[in-house]
Copies of this chain bind each other. A is one copy, B any other.
């Protein structure tokens, strides 16, 4: 039983790693689409989201089968349950990257955000590129240290997100640009939130300590 469990879990873990890699690709592609009007990158992200969705389904199916057939307990059970939640988090990150890519494609060949907002969005994209690298590393190595780094760094993204609101209020840009700054800022901030939530799942898998139960009221305030 044990050997079969480990083999099957390995298969699920491989799919989850692939999801993380796909999400990383999607985040980088969405960033390129947004900052460099790379419409091909945008299309690749949009098309690629189907694979992420399919991987989520596959991971969830495999986990349910594992639960039914192997009745894992203790750490094994924690791994399976967390894997299901990680898959759903990655699926949602794929959606958000796709939303960013869709915004970029919609305004092409013009940029989706005005020049005044480019530096802050470039910082957000760079932040998320780095987070995406950390996500993949964290998952490959089941590394709680990297996970903790993701959790701790998120304030920086929130701070950048707050700055987008000031930019959105400028009278120098069009109303449509205000709308796009708000939406794109929100999508990027949510990508960061989900990365934090994924990192917390990994901390939970590795240590058994569930950091989602700490008294945090929010992951990234939205409007204040």
**Binary flags per residue of A184-195, CB closer than 8 Å to B gives 1, else 0:** 001100000000
A17–B186 Cα distance when bound, in Å, is: 31
In the complex, residue of chain B having the shortest beta-carbon distance to the beta carbon of A107: B223
Closest residue of B by beta carbon distance from A80: B67
A187 to B182, CA, bound (A): 12
A171 within 8 A of B: yes
**Residues in B neighbouring A179, C-beta threshold 8 A:** 165, 168-169, 178, 182, 223
Interface size, chain A (Cβ < 8 Å): 43
Binary contact track A152-196/B, C-beta < 8 Å → 1, others 0 = 000000000000010011110001101110110011000000000
- Given contacts A81-B84, A176-B169, is CB(A103)–CB(B64) below 8 Å? no
Chain B residues with CB under 8 A of A182: 178-179, 182-183
Contact digits for A209-224, partner B, Cβ 8 Å, 1 yes 0 no: 0001100011001111
